[in-house]
Amino acid sequence: MSAATAVSCRALMITAPASGQGKTTVTAALAHWHRSRGRRVRVFKTGPDFLDPMVLECASGAPVQQLDLWMGGEAHCAELLYDAAIQADLILVEGVMGLHDGTPSSADLALRFGLPLLAVIDASAMAQTFGAVAHGLATYRAGLQLTGVLANRVGSSSHAQMLRESLPAGMTWYGTLPRGGNYGLPARHLGLVQAAEVGDMAERIAAAARALGENGELPIPPVVQFEAPLASDNLALPALLSGTTIAIARDAAFSFLYPANLDTLRALGARLCFFSPLANEPVPTAAQALYLPGGYPELHLQALANNTVTRQSVHAHHAAGRPLVAECGGMLALLETLSDKAGHSSPMMGLLPGQGVMTDRLVNLGMHSLMLPQGQVRGHTFHHGRIATTLPATLHTVAQRQQGRAEAVFHQGRLFASFMHLYFPSNPLAIAAMFKP
């Protein structure tokens, strides 16, 4: 593949001045609106996030990948965007937090790949200041292409008119999402409620798309040139996991799975099979390795306490000396007990000594790296849980943010457990060693 090869595709990053402005709702609505007009839409999420992509996948009908210049790297992001541009008519990228928040930020990603911006601003408590916020987003950093703004949670047509009139000359008005429509996205600790748990999610997205069409002026996003990855960045991974079957827990309690992690395991040659601890299913007998991802075990204490078949099969897997990787909620489920934030405690799988407790407050958040014999693996941590265990930590992660708090890593035979969510594409060779029987 030539480094000079490029492909054209219309693209737009949906950003905001802060979190909670409505980026996910607007991105999902735009994906639905364009799909309803026959366009092939691919959606990405900036930064580490499991919950927003579930909503965006429902809207776009395709898996939603992460774009993060630190966690995945520039070459990885370029490859994902290029591959999407080949297949799609439109690429939508939901930003993270505010436009300039974080290192790297949504602005960094937009500048690197030439992504034009649509700013979503919660206008519920402002009038003419709306224009000042839009002006600041457009001019704070040179090189950004703010193509327009959309006002969210607007109270009336007169309110919308005031907002529109406040915009600097030449700034495109995308319209509004009125306040109180049946398209709000419910949330809980860690973020949005999982899309599969919201029975009318498809209807909410469709309602938001209709509201955009009725109250907005939705121009077709600009064309962007996406360069092909360099040949050195596009090498096939060695099939280090050829012949290895990896069992992966996947249900409402264990759902924090990056599509790129699964793609990496497959590219390494592994065969993937899935099972549900909530349904008391055993680890598939063909599995030579086991992956327990994060999720919400604390919301399913009774079901997990009763899953004797799953518990026995996990113990048997570990006793046989097979690899077991447990992240965050997966690690909590391996403890002797887990208590929710209301104080209700239930027995868990009992493979790791100790207790887990959920708190009302965020315990740790941020990007982390971990040094393994095969090199550095990157990822992130985001949880409300604490654990008390007699098992000594064998390693600690390194927080990217200055004064960030490290996470303990526990090993017990071939068991690897930590609150850190690993991003497998950051070091596929290290991941292969972790899962290799």
Residues annotated as part of the active site: 328
Query: Alpha-carbon dihedral of residues 397, 399, 403, 406, nearest 10 degrees?
Result: -20
State the Cα–Cα distance between residues 245 and 231, nearest whole angstrom.
30
DSSP-based three-state secondary structure for 142? coil
DSSP character at residue 427: -
Phi-psi region of 170 (alpha: psi -120 to 50; beta: other; left: phi over 0): left
Could you tell me how far CA 359 lies from the centroid of its own chain?
Answer: 22
418, 226 in Cβ contact below 8 A? no
Rg (CA), the chain: 22
State the Cα–Cα distance between residues 418 and 331, nearest whole angstrom.
6
State the Cα–Cα distance between residues 279 and 26, nearest whole angstrom.
35
State the Cα–Cα distance between residues 51 and 251, nearest whole angstrom.
14
Closest by alpha carbon to 71, among 294, 379, 375, 328?
379
DSSP code string of 43-108: EEEESS-SHHHHHHHHHHSS--EEE-TTTT-HHHHHHHHHHHHHH-SEEEEE--SSTT-SSS-HHH
Closest by alpha carbon to 283, among 330, 213, 347, 328?
330
State the Cα–Cα distance between residues 321 and 324, nearest whole angstrom.
9
Helices H / strands E in the chain, number of each: 12, 25
Which structure tokens are listed for 342? 């209301």
